Structure 1
Amino acid sequence: MKSIAAAGSPLLSLLLAQSALAAPADAPIAAVTVYPGSATVERVVQVKPGMTEVEIAGLPANFDTRTVRVQASNGIQLGRIVTRDTSAAEAPGVREAELEQKLQAMRDARDVLEVEAQAANVVRAYLEKLPAAGERTMGTDGKAIAGAIDAVRHGARDTFSQIQRTQVQVRDMERKIAALQKELDRVRSGARDQRSLTIAVAARQGGALRVAYQVNGAGWKPAYRATLDTTTSRIELERMAVVSQKTGEDWSGVAMKLSTGQPRLSPQAPEPQPHLLAYRPPAPPVDHRALLPPLAAPAPAPAPMPQRVSVAGSALRSADDMYIPPIVESQGNFDTEFDVPGKADLASDGREISLPLSRLTLPVAQRIRVVPKMNQAAFLMAEAERPSGVWLSGDVQLLRDGAYVGNTQWNSRATEKLQWSFGRDELVRVTVDRAGQQTGSAGFLSNKGERDVADVYTIASHHKTPVALEVLEPAPVSTSDEIKVETVFEPQPVVRDWERRQGVAAWEKTLAPGESLKIKVRYNIRYPKEGTVSGLP
């Protein structure tokens, strides 16, 4: 074997050299890390022993070549990396070529149907020229005539049925061709320049190259789905991510990570410069009249300003280029990463998709919240201890016993606990009665105005089981020494400044089935007659 290789060494060397000058390698996207506004795309290329060059073609030409990073397996030495850009007209995309092939196949099939239709029309024309059923020629046998008529009838039926079927198939084919043509036009209108990477290697053994680069036009934001089970007092909290991208290439079956990092921002710390102050003495007064030019004829009206057109390269920016990726709000001192389970698919069309990340179940405390002064409705609240880990602010879908009740925005930094409202409770009725209202002067000769307001709140439970009730009342609070407020509550609230909110009183009580709670509030407000007082009840 060694002698054969030695004898044919020139030919073998030539064959090895030709094999080393490989065609574009298959480099599918294996992993993607999505950041706010950008993404790191990682491709994997298999390298065979003896290869000296690896070419990766068909890449979008919109990434910064300075962000390219290449890692090689043991036994593979890396050399220089060369990039080459190709215009969209010179390098049609894979999707465009696939659509063109399908479109041509559809057109060929339509042509075949049209040939069948033409053949059926020829038969129909022949049948129409045959003698009518009542026309007999001399010497023609009656049985022969009957057989001929029957044959013509069957032939006509088959022919006209074939013509109808063919027309239906042609119409269906025309619709498919129009849809494919529309999609092909869309792909062509969104065509982008392409880029190829040529990497010099010295492969002593087989292995893999990992090529990563940074692209813009991608992003993600957190989202949640909270499902309350009122029977078991538990919430199933599902963490999700809303991801979209318009990087110029589809992501199919990739391992995806989501990061709160900001690689697009400059990593350089600011460099302070000396802050110098300079003084200039005042200039002597100048007679401006001596500097005025002689009067001249009025200038012509200025020409209208041209409209600004944003141009990138040689192409006008279209509406598709105005894509804004979803952005996650950074909330920590360091980056946080989330792994998307399984493999993810995401088309490069800017559409947002929701990807599940994790799920957990939390025990909650349920209560009915009522704010009669603002709304005569009762709302079901659920409160849970905040789970450990990083929880970013985001949109929350709320479901109660499997039924969708609405969406809310969760500010994870506002409170230490999870606290959400799961819609109205129609089994708790709230009524507000105005017991009294007076407006006048504090005295006959007084320069003070006075307003006295009294309300009675009645909250009745029609539940079949006891419910925890929370009643909140934002009482008037004076922000001026000129305004005096006297507040009377019956019964007394358990908290005067609920959640450190000034003047917000809170009552808590467990209502038995059919039980009611009455709360009386009265406010006496004195204020100067002169001037204006805002916020009077």
Structure 2
Amino acid sequence: MRLRVLLLVCVSSIALTPAWAKETIVEATSTIDGVIVHPDAATVTRRATIDLPADAATILLKNLPFALDADSLRVSGEANGRVTIGAVEARLAPAEPQAPDTAIEAKLKQLRAARESQQVTLDALAAKQAMIARYSQAGPEKLGPETRPLAIGEWSAAFDAIASALTRTGEELRGARVKAKELDDEIHALEAGTGARATRRPSREIAIAVESASGGRLQLSLSYLVSGAYWRPAYDARLETGGAAGKPQLEFIRRAAVTQNTGEDWNDVALSVSTTRAHRGAAAPEVQPQRVSFYEPPIVYAPKAAAPAPMERQMRRSAEAPMAAAAAPEPPPAPAPAEQQTAALESSAFQASFKISGRVGAPGDGTTKSFILSSRRMTPTLAARIAPALDPTAFLEARILNEEDAPLLAGPVAVQRDGMHVGQSRIAFVAPGEAVELGFGADDKIKVARAPVKRLENEPSWFGQTKYETRDFKTTVENLHDFTVPVTVVDQIPFSETTAITVETLPQTTAPTTKQIADKRGVMGWSFDAKPRETKELRLAYRVKWPAERDIVTQPAPIAPR
């Protein structure tokens, strides 16, 4: 019977004691079996099979990632007999030089010889060009043989010969320089590649002290947290409006873009993505008491030479399915849409993760790989949303409910409406059971106009008088569809946080359906069903009063992020 190993795991950063150092060293090869990717790290599980000798031994696992968190290292295992796991040490392995690539070295030698030969050609052409230029600068009286001046009728032929020689030599020199530049670029590229491969990045070694009375086979499991890996959410929202008769349908696809640069490839692993952040913290921050007292000015002493402040460093570090064309006399079957492979949701009361189907891989060079986590079809609630003070355009909006047990993390949303891409939006964090509104582009069959009706300001004639400003706007909404459309108009009036400034809504204002939207002071909304060819008018009027000796300014108020 296989017995569960007695685990006495102790992660240590000090060297092995002399007693362990005399024991047998067993170098083992481990493979990555599973990875859980968090939004800010990854938990890696390795497996190894070791044939243990009798008595004490030290298992040595090499070439583990440098970014491994030694505090998160955990070891467990199973064996045929009784095996005790002792101290576990995570130590830094220095970078090892690599033997040069002989093929690349031979290519470099060949390129350097060609470059030297090309330099000889460049020097010769440059000397020829300089000689022709010096000959062209001589006077006509020195161009003839036996120092006889050249006849005037021969000057034109001499000029043409010099020009032709300079042109031909210049073209040859330009081509030789281009060839030399190409050789230089190729040499530099190869030299840079060999320099990058000259040494491997530092890694870690794990030494595990074990003791077995009779020896046997040990199935070892090793898990650790590693930085340099993360995943980011992305979403697709595809809306089918259905027109006047049909019901709208929305397909919402959740994706995960996995990126890792840990220095090790994840090949043929069981991959999961978790919504839990590994480095977020385990407890709420401690609230400290605050004391209020009168301000005392600091005592100023004679200045002293300031010591340089220490510098702070922050460490930061799809499978294609081949299609076979079968030659058959009968007509091929009608094409069917390919099914999207999705992940399995594993959720609990406090966390959720998605397990990617099958065994997949992710390269360790920072390449991003995308996976579909889930795809759901739902019936949304459609409405037109208008903010006429900012944009006189009606935008189609769909309200959906997150019915999954996993939250929707903040991320971009690619939006399609009736098969057409209409833009990209973004959602904030959406908890399970919470609703979210998604925009699906402009609705050109709803006409919107907003115009000022009246603006009135008084000019005080004496000190202490109150100054006021009255604003009045009319918004017109016309539905050109042949069916009823729910519409929400959002507008605003300023608000004051001081008693010296008052803002009052005037009686001609159309009563809003919602007096305050999303806890935004002064932001109100009017919701109604716009019937076909119906025109709706809304009025918004307010008055601001303040002391005449002061000036006021209207500016956006800060909004707390979600």
TM-score normalised to structure 1 length:
0.62
Aligned-residue offset at 1:236: 2.0
1:489 and 1:519 in contact (8 A); partners too: no
Q: What does residue 220 of structure 2 align with? A: 209
Q: What does residue 450 of structure 1 align with? A: 468
Q: What does residue 233 of structure 1 align with? A: 248
Query: Residue 405 of structure 1 aligns to which amino acid in structure 2?
Result: G
Structure 1 residues 189 and 57: CA distance shift in structure 2, 3 A: closer
Q: What does residue 33 of structure 1 align with? A: 36
Distance in 1 of aligned mates of 2:468 and 2:90? 82
Q: What does residue 104 of structure 1 align with? A: 102
Structure 2 unpaired stretches of 5+: 1-22, 113-180, 290-298, 318-347, 557-562
Distance in 2 of aligned mates of 1:270 and 1:514? 57
Q: What does residue 195 of structure 2 align with? A: 185
Structure 1 residues 62 and 427: CA distance shift in structure 2, 3 A: same
Aligned-residue offset at 1:397: 1.3
Distance in 1 of aligned mates of 2:456 and 2:280? 61
Mapping 1:307-346, distance limit 5 Å = 322-323=316-317, 334-346=350-362
Query: Residue 230 of structure 2 aligns to which amino acid in structure 1?
Result: G
2:402 and 2:433 in contact (8 A); partners too: no
Task: Establish whether residue 535 from structure 1 lines up as the match of residue 554 from structure 2.
Answer: yes
Secondary structure of residue in 2 paired with 1:68: strand
Query: Which residue of the other structure, out of 452, 456, 478, is the alignment partner of 1:434?
Result: 452
Secondary structure of residue in 2 paired with 1:73: strand
Query: Which structure has greater helix proportion?
Result: 1
Structure 1 residues 239 and 176: CA distance shift in structure 2, 3 A: farther
1:82 and 1:197 in contact (8 A); partners too: yes
Task: Establish whether residue 493 from structure 1 lines up as the match of residue 508 from structure 2.
Answer: no
Count matched residues: 417
Distance in 1 of aligned mates of 2:271 and 2:381? 36
Moved more, 237-246 or 78-87: 78-87
1:396 and 1:410 in contact (8 A); partners too: no
Mapping 1:107-186, distance limit 5 Å = 182-186=192-196
Distance in 2 of aligned mates of 1:359 and 1:520? 43
Distance in 1 of aligned mates of 2:311 and 2:525? 59
Structure 1 unpaired stretches of 5+: 1-19, 115-170, 276-287, 294-298, 312-316, 324-331
Query: Which residue of the other structure, out of 55, 64, 71, is the alignment partner of 1:59?
Result: 64
Distance in 2 of aligned mates of 1:204 and 1:394? 52
Query: Residue 225 of structure 2 aligns to which amino acid in structure 1?
Result: Q
Q: What does residue 263 of structure 2 align with? A: 248
Structure 1 residues 72 and 244: CA distance shift in structure 2, 3 A: same
Q: What does residue 219 of structure 1 align with? A: 230
Q: What does residue 537 of structure 2 align with? A: 518
Task: Establish whether residue 197 from structure 1 lines up as the match of residue 207 from structure 2.
Answer: yes
Distance in 2 of aligned mates of 1:68 and 1:371? 54
Distance in 1 of aligned mates of 2:85 and 2:253? 47
2:404 and 2:433 in contact (8 A); partners too: no
Aligned-residue offset at 1:370: 0.9
Q: What does residue 508 of structure 1 align with? A: 527
Deviations 1:176-228 (A, max 9, x none): 88756544433556611442535546476546211223333333444433333
Query: Residue 507 of structure 1 aligns to which amino acid in structure 2?
Result: W
Query: Which residue of the other structure, out of 62, 80, 101, is the alignment partner of 1:75?
Result: 80
Query: Residue 185 of structure 1 aligns to which amino acid in structure 2?
Result: G
Aligned-residue offset at 1:531: 2.6
Q: What CA RMSD, in Å, does the superposition of the two structures yield over aligned residues?
A: 4.9
Distance in 2 of aligned mates of 1:438 and 1:258? 60
2:422 and 2:441 in contact (8 A); partners too: no
Aligned-residue offset at 1:418: 1.4
Task: Establish whether residue 380 from structure 1 lines up as the match of residue 396 from structure 2.
Answer: yes
Distance in 1 of aligned mates of 2:60 and 2:529? 73
Distance in 2 of aligned mates of 1:462 and 1:439? 38
Secondary structure of residue in 2 paired with 1:186: helix
Distance in 1 of aligned mates of 2:378 and 2:458? 54
Distance in 2 of aligned mates of 1:532 and 1:112? 79
Structure 1 residues 335 and 109: CA distance shift in structure 2, 3 A: same
Q: What does residue 390 of structure 1 align with? A: 406
Aligned-residue offset at 1:253: 2.5
Aligned-residue offset at 1:267: 6.8
Query: Residue 58 of structure 1 aligns to which amino acid in structure 2?
Result: N
Q: What does residue 122 of structure 1 align with? A: none
1:106 and 1:177 in contact (8 A); partners too: no
Distance in 2 of aligned mates of 1:216 and 1:490? 57
TM-score normalised to structure 2 length:
0.60
The alignment-based identity, stated in percent, is 22
Distance in 1 of aligned mates of 2:284 and 2:384? 51
Structure 1 residues 348 and 184: CA distance shift in structure 2, 3 A: farther
Aligned-residue offset at 1:58: 1.8
Distance in 2 of aligned mates of 1:452 and 1:271? 49
Q: What does residue 285 of structure 1 align with? A: none
Distance in 1 of aligned mates of 2:310 and 2:66? 26
Deviations 1:300-344 (A, max 9, x none): x97x97796789xxxxx9xxx642xxxxxxxx9944433333334
1:442 and 1:526 in contact (8 A); partners too: no
1:32 and 1:255 in contact (8 A); partners too: yes
Structure 1 residues 426 and 107: CA distance shift in structure 2, 3 A: farther
Aligned-residue offset at 1:408: 1.5
Query: Residue 497 of structure 1 aligns to which amino acid in structure 2?
Result: Q
Structure 1 residues 443 and 308: CA distance shift in structure 2, 3 A: closer
Distance in 1 of aligned mates of 2:104 and 2:495? 76
Mapping 1:13-28, distance limit 5 Å = 24-28=27-31
Structure 1 residues 365 and 67: CA distance shift in structure 2, 3 A: closer
Q: What does residue 491 of structure 2 align with? A: 473
Secondary structure of residue in 2 paired with 1:485: strand
Query: Residue 240 of structure 1 aligns to which amino acid in structure 2?
Result: R
Distance in 2 of aligned mates of 1:269 and 1:536? 35
Task: Establish whether residue 42 from structure 1 lines up as the match of residue 45 from structure 2.
Answer: yes
